[in-house]
Chains A and B, each alone.
Chain A
Amino acid sequence: MSALWLWGAVVLPPALAVVALADRRGGWSPLLVAVAAVPGLVAGLGGEMTTSAHWLLLETVLRTDGLARTFLVAAALLWLVAGLVAHGTLEDHRRRFAALGLLALGGNVALVVAADVVAFYTGFALMTFAAYGLVVHDGTTVARRAGRIYVLMAVLGEVVLLAGLLLAVHAAGTLQLAAVPGAVAAADHRPLIVGLLLIGLGVKLGLVGLHMWLPLAHPAAPVAASAVLSGAMIKAGLLGWLRLLPLGEAAMPGWGTTMLILGLLGAFGAVVVGLTQHAAKVNLAYSSVSQMGTAVALVGVALAEPAVAATALGAAAVFALHHGLAKGVLFLGAGAVSGPVALVGSGLAAAALAGAPLTSGIAAKALIKDVAANAGPTGGALLTALPLTSVATALLLTRLLWLQSRHTSTSTTPWAWAGWTIAVTGTVLATWLVPTARAAGVDAVAPLAASLDWGAVWPLLVAATLTALVVRRPVRVRELPAGDLVIPLEALGRHLSHHQTPLARARAAQTIRSGPAAVAAGSLRLLDVAEVALTRWRGATSLLVVILVALLWGVAR
């Protein structure tokens, strides 16, 4: 294992993005995404190592510690799959997809293996902005609206994160990520820093209240991109939390409880909205919000109870690996492949997410249980909620399988099946891929052995019973609009811009067309008037004369 693989994992994707531009006809370039993911996979499966380059950015340090390797294996595998599937399914703009996908892949890998704050933030931003192109790839009205909301929230997240990182680095006095949690714990402005980090990274992982972009963007993207968006990229927010928050360094019960509540709100609320959806990909996007809700709750517990932080880190990493791979399979089933075989694969992945025995899901949940059982009142709440999240997930994904079975896609290609096969294999073997997670202080195989447990089975029975009841007596429910909270916000923006006529008029003259931005633009026109008045001869000279007089007066005094 040499440092070459690690550097290759970071450098090869952007380098191949340049190569992709040579593919004028849009033929082979999506395959480059798969090729570029290979070094990351090798580095993730290899041992722990550190390497640095002082001339790169502000002294870049890369490290594959246990946490990084777990996230890296999941991300690289998903990107590998996405490359194959994109090659097999994309019809238009293949070259653009490949180039932007490669940049996003490079960012994703970089942020995972970064050991210094600037490299982390650089990877994070590269991934976020490149992924915008993947979201709007189809160019439809729906995709563009999704893209607008995506980029708005992403930019907000980026700047909030930047502020949080600046404060954290100032407190730490070094750029090393490893020094940040301890420094934040001891910092004067601890609540401010923690708040900024929670929000800045929370946008990415779909924290409730900041999640609105996710159910719009993930379904709008082509299916290959959805798989990496939901499987790999939202994990960047989680990894950022695990690396930067003062987990294990300080007890923050208030923040922890808040996160626990928000997490559980996401875990269950997203299922309620998701169950009403008619589109499989929207259902899956809400499932992602729900799953990340569980992770958020876990981080909340770790914030409140420093004693369990170390095990919580490992559990969160395994959970991320497990959810990423399973969600990848499910997204492929919702658009890249179809038929009974595809349905079986989706069934396996769904079972894993619902925590069925012998799956990666039960291993992840057993680890979370282990954390929660030792973590006081917040842990107790999570412990109680955990089986119920399994029930909710089982219901939501049963609905998904039903949606998928009714959908008969026509064209599937060998490339898409190849990608799908890798993803399914990865999902089934996920728990045994986890040896990498052991380095993070976790033994994931033991809980798997103990998974043939009543606790793992009853939630599924409850879900099955409920499903059976609904099948016998169907209930009609209105489909809730995807993006939920974004709807009233958009309406508010329209309301503000329509009901103030002078501003509406000003808006017509501006390039900004919608929402609160138009209101702001209207107010800005007042500045125009003021500037024109001041720019006249007399305005300008009197201003300067005043300064001149002040100067002479001061000297004379």
Chain B
Amino acid sequence: MSWSAGLPLLVLGASLVPALAILLWSAHRHPARVALCLGGALTKLVLVGVMLGGVTRGERYEWRGTFLLDLDLVLRADPIGLLLVSLAAVLWLLTTIYAVGYLQDAPRQASFFGFSSLSVAAIVGVALAGNPVTFLLFFELLTVATYPLVVHRGTRAALAAGTRYLVFALTGGAVLLAGVLVLHTVAGPVDFTTGGVLSGSSSRGQLTALFVGLVAAVGVKAAIVPLHLWLPGAHSIAPGPASALLSGLTVNAGAFGIARIVFDVYGLELATDLGLLGPLAVLAAVTIVYGSLRALAQDELKRRLAYSTVSQLSYVALGVAVAGPLAAAGGLVHVVHQGIMKATLFYGAGGLSQTLGVTRVSELNGVGRRMPLTMAAFTVASLGMIGVPPLAGFVTKWVLGLGGLQAGAGWVVGVLVASSLLNAAYLLPIVYRAWFLDPVAGWPREHPPTGRVETRPTLLWPPMVTATLTLLVGVLAGAGLSPLTWASFAVEGVFE
């Protein structure tokens, strides 16, 4: 097998092999598990780096294998997919380190490390999938792999949230299966192709219905209102590192699916012609505002953050649906931006709950003095979410807003303004409480401080790194290797 065909397989295998190894063989040996995960994550980082370099030079990485009948499995590294793969590599490494500290002495660690690796493998598969069948396969695998993370605690509430998640995800999966079958009937065995594969192959009514079905199916994972109902419960009940991984990384499967459907199955031209993008954009806008409104009403910190995910994720769908090069770049780059910011927030929330037992916004008074570094990272990510320059979220909002105007959808600016105000309304009170209010006597459940540092280093460093990245991807947005530059490069192909 040649190097260019092997590389996508290796990137996938870097997570899949540790996942299977942990789940099947080394269930009882902690150091081995961690070593497998860290080794896999570091390998993946290096491989992704190589792939990014190669794709910049115009190389093609594609692996093709026969699956069933006339169906192929295709793994292919295209620029859009690499955005998500890079995010996966970074967040997997950091979350593994974080989980070592977070789960210290907790039961069922093998399950956590095994299924988190499997989730990463699934999301990488989704990102690299070169045709609808491959996409479907990894999309369903993602459901299977993330369910154990949601119910990890095993409490009644966790199981209930998990069941709700399964109901939504499996129904969505069933719809996706049906959709892919229909697609296969209509268009034959096709690869994802920029510009679409469907033009002139079927009646407008059928194409519209298929679009609705496909988007609704992936829309469950993308948490588009009203298909978002599973997310706040599932993401907030999971243990801290799992929340970060779910809300920062795996949710992107849905948003990413929408981009694939619009760009590579229907093609912008056909999707626009059928009048499908307008309603999609409106739905995304509604989700952005609705998610923020709901976040405003949550006192439980992780629930508030989970609703924020509902809202922020639809920036991606909005950018895709507005159908202009700049807007699409703004939407796609938010996959990375949302990922690192949301991971920072969930790392911070996990650090607070593990160190002080603080889980509610109303308990946050004065935590900035007790855990200054954790809260500094949390503050940076919060300001980034609001869209304060020069942080990551600002870059998204700026490019997306300008892209909306460029595509003749000026109302996007209005949505961004409303969203920024709401983000400020639900995030700034947290920052304010942490830094400027005096602590109420004692913390709910404080673990004895160990040494001079505010918490375990493994709980501290991951949010510090992601917060630094939040700053850097904004400050260096114009640099050659920034996510924005990469996203702009990725959409160039779509809008030629």
Tell me which residues across on chain B come within 8 A of A510, comparing CB atoms: 297, 299
List A residues 182-207 near B (Cβ within 8 Å). Answer: none
* Interface membership of A410, Cβ < 8 A: no
Contact B171 A544 (CB under 8 A): yes
Contact A167 B413 (CB under 8 A): yes
**CB-contact partner of B293 in A118, A527, A540, under 8 A:** A527
Q: What is the chain A residue whose CB lies nearest that of B294? A: A527
Q: Range of interface residues on chain B?
A: 35 or more
Contact B390 A57 (CB under 8 A): yes
Tell me which residues across on chain A come within 8 A of B394, comparing CB atoms: 122, 125
**CB-contact partner of B227 in A144, A517, A543, under 8 A:** A543
Contact A521 B209 (CB under 8 A): no
Contact B420 A159 (CB under 8 A): yes
Tell me which residues across on chain B come within 8 A of A537, comparing CB atoms: 167
* Interface membership of B115, Cβ < 8 A: no
Known A163-B413, A521-B297: A551·B175 in contact at CB below 8 Å: yes
Contact A551 B179 (CB under 8 A): yes
Tell me which residues across on chain B come within 8 A of A490, comparing CB atoms: none
Contact A540 B297 (CB under 8 A): no
* Interface membership of A406, Cβ < 8 A: no
Q: How far is the CB of B162 from chain A (nearest CB, A)?
A: 13
Q: How far is the CB of B52 from chain A (nearest CB, A)?
A: 17
Contact A548 B174 (CB under 8 A): yes
Q: How far is the CB of A169 from chain B (nearest CB, A)?
A: 6
* Interface membership of B436, Cβ < 8 A: yes
* Interface membership of B477, Cβ < 8 A: yes
Known A57-B390, A548-B213, A555-B209: A541·B171 in contact at CB below 8 Å: yes
Q: Is the interface of B mostly helix, strand, loop or mixed?
A: helix
List A residues 30-86 near B (Cβ within 8 Å). Answer: 53-60
Query: A9-20 vs B: 1/0 string, CB under 8 Å?
Result: 000000000000
Q: What is the chain A residue whose CB lies nearest that of B360? A: A511
List B residues 368-422 near A (Cβ within 8 Å). Answer: 383, 386-390, 394-395, 397-398, 401-402, 405-406, 410, 413-414, 416-417, 420-421
Q: Is the interface of A mostly helix, strand, loop or mixed?
A: helix
Contact B296 A170 (CB under 8 A): no
Known A170-B406, A548-B175: A554·B209 in contact at CB below 8 Å: yes
Known A534-B229, A544-B172: A163·B294 in contact at CB below 8 Å: no
* Interface membership of A528, Cβ < 8 A: yes
* Interface membership of B476, Cβ < 8 A: yes
* Interface membership of A547, Cβ < 8 A: yes
**CB-contact partner of A511 in B388, B429, B480, under 8 A:** B429
Tell me which residues across on chain B come within 8 A of A535, comparing CB atoms: 164, 229-230, 233
Tell me which residues across on chain A come within 8 A of B293, comparing CB atoms: 524, 527
List B residues 159-185 near A (Cβ within 8 Å). Answer: 164, 167-168, 171-172, 174-175, 178-179, 182
Contact B436 A166 (CB under 8 A): no
* Interface membership of A469, Cβ < 8 A: no
Known A541-B167, A543-B227: A551·B479 in contact at CB below 8 Å: no
Contact A156 B209 (CB under 8 A): no
Question: What is the bound-complex CA distance between A167 and B175, given in angstroms?
Answer: 41
Query: A522-547 vs B: 1/0 string, CB under 8 Å?
Result: 00110110010011010111011101
Tell me which residues across on chain A come within 8 A of B383, comparing CB atoms: 129
**CB-contact partner of B210 in A60, A539, A544, A554, under 8 A:** A554
Tell me which residues across on chain A come within 8 A of B54, comparing CB atoms: none
Residue among A122, A159, A163, A528 with the most chain B CB within 10 A? A159
Contact B405 A547 (CB under 8 A): no
Question: What is the bound-complex CA distance between A551 and B186, given in angstroms?
Answer: 14
* Interface membership of A344, Cβ < 8 A: no
Q: How far is the CB of B322 from chain A (nearest CB, A)?
A: 13
Query: A495-530 vs B: 1/0 string, CB under 8 Å?
Result: 000000000000000111000010011001101100
Q: Range of interface residues on chain A?
A: 35 or more
Known A162-B401, A537-B167, A540-B229: A520·B213 in contact at CB below 8 Å: no
* Interface membership of B107, Cβ < 8 A: no
Contact B478 A58 (CB under 8 A): yes
Contact B297 A525 (CB under 8 A): yes
Contact B480 A55 (CB under 8 A): yes
Q: How far is the CB of A57 from chain B (nearest CB, A)?
A: 6
Tell me which residues across on chain B come within 8 A of A147, comparing CB atoms: 436
* Interface membership of B208, Cβ < 8 A: yes
Contact A550 B297 (CB under 8 A): no
Tell me which residues across on chain A come within 8 A of B478, comparing CB atoms: 53-60
Q: How far is the CB of B10 from chain A (nearest CB, A)?
A: 31
Tell me which residues across on chain B come within 8 A of A511, comparing CB atoms: 299, 361-362, 429
Contact A58 B168 (CB under 8 A): no
Contact A551 B178 (CB under 8 A): yes
Tell me which residues across on chain A come within 8 A of B398, comparing CB atoms: 58, 118, 162, 166
Contact A170 B402 (CB under 8 A): yes
Contact B388 A125 (CB under 8 A): yes
Contact A118 B389 (CB under 8 A): yes
Q: How far is the CB of A107 from chain B (nearest CB, A)?
A: 10
The 26 listed contacts between A and B (C-beta, < 8 Å) are A55-B478, A55-B479, A56-B475, A56-B476, A57-B390, A58-B395, A58-B398, A155-B421, A160-B417, A162-B397, A162-B401, A167-B413, A169-B402, A511-B362, A517-B425, A524-B293, A528-B297, A534-B229, A535-B230, A539-B229, A540-B171, A544-B220, A551-B175, A551-B209, A555-B182, A555-B206
- 15 A-B pairs besides A521-B297, A539-B229, A540-B229 with CB distance below 8 A are A55-B476, A56-B476, A58-B477, A122-B394, A159-B417, A159-B421, A163-B401, A166-B405, A531-B229, A544-B172, A548-B171, A550-B209, A551-B213, A554-B209, A557-B206
Query: Interface on B for A, CB 8 Å cutoff?
Result: 164, 167-168, 171-172, 174-175, 178-179, 182, 203, 205-206, 208-210, 212-213, 216, 220, 226-227, 229-230, 233, 293-294, 296-297, 299, 361-362, 383, 386-390, 394-395, 397-398, 401-402, 405-406, 410, 413-414, 416-417, 420-421, 424-425, 428-429, 436, 474-480
